[in-house]
Amino acid sequence: MQCVDRSGNIIKQNEAQDRILKILYKNKLGRILLKQLVKPWVSSVSGVILSSSCSRGLIPPFIKRNNINMAEYEERSFLSYNDFFTRRIKEGQRTVDHQPDHLIAPCDSKLSVYSITKDSHFIIKNTQYTLHSLLKNKKLADYYEGGVLLLFRLSVDDYHRYCYIDNGRKSKNYHIKGVFHTVNPIANQVLPVYKENTREFSVMDTENFGRILVMEIGAMLVGKIVNYHEDAIVQRGEEKGRFEFGGSSIIILLEKDRAVIDEDIRNNSANGTETMVKLGERIGEGQL
């Protein structure tokens, strides 16, 4: 899927990652290998290795291959690949829009917008889903009928910490166990990815956008969701959590007529194009 920035400039995607995914998902031998890769013991072993000091050698080539601007991040020595992957950005490198009626992005990502139909069917990366199959909760799925689904896709080169998009009270976290598969768009042409991924969601009563649902989706192999709070009062821009080890996704569900997404993002999504957004930047405006 093509991706553009807010000025309409095309963003180059990670072609090396795409080639690997094509091998895994688009031929028989690749899918046989994939079945082994997603087994829990493989994830456990991989996690141990990537959290160990011996994984530090993976960091320099990763930075070079993905053209990561390390000037944006805190300057320090990393103890492991995962320590590097969850690195913090320098203060001032991301500006959180605190205008109350401005809807903001929770993370650095590629954003797509979908309307939730009467039957709660929608298309995510060429694969059809229902909210019920995603949430495993029919009551919640019905509640967001007529609303909007925002899909924020994080690739491995993105900043992997995310924030709350408004002040309010969040519920506890609801975990849905799954098998890890990649969230890269290529995979969706073969497998119903989100039905396979582990995910976690909470519901939040916000000051400016009504009752929103926020879901974090883990990535292939060792992807891990780390949310910091259970039932809590939270603030816009406050760090909500982080992803470890791999690219991931965040979904936000908005009630009907609660916000209007910015025109450039809506137009891009209508044309099958993702929009690159940064943590804290405006992506829409609330409606009273």
How do residues 22-65 score in pLDDT, each as one tens digit?
776 677 777 777 777 767 677 778 888 999 999 999 999 999 98
Rounded to two decimals, what is the model's pTM? Answer: 0.89
Say whether 248 is catalytic: yes
State both tokens at 24: 């895994």
Q: What are the two backbone dihedrals, phi and then psi, of residue 14, each rounded to the nearest 5 degrees?
A: -80, 95
Nearest Cα neighbor of 217 from 145, 158, 148, 154 is 154
Ordered by start, the domain boundaries in the chain are 12-85, 102-286
Percent of the chain surpassing pLDDT 90 = 62
Catalytic residue among 83, 108, 158, 262: 108
Query: Which strand (E) or helix (H) includes residue 213?
Result: strand 211-217
State both tokens at 69: 């601007």
Say whether 108 is catalytic: yes
Question: What does the pLDDT read at residue 245?
Answer: 81
Q: What is the largest CA-CA distance in the chain?
A: 54
Low-confidence ranges of the chain (pLDDT < 50): 124-127, 192-195
Nearest Cα neighbor of 165 from 152, 174, 146 is 152
User: How far is the C-alpha of 285 from the C-alpha of 282, rounded, in Å?
Assistant: 8
Q: Are 217 and 235 in contact (CB under 8 A)?
A: no
Catalytic residue among 248, 249, 262, 269: 248
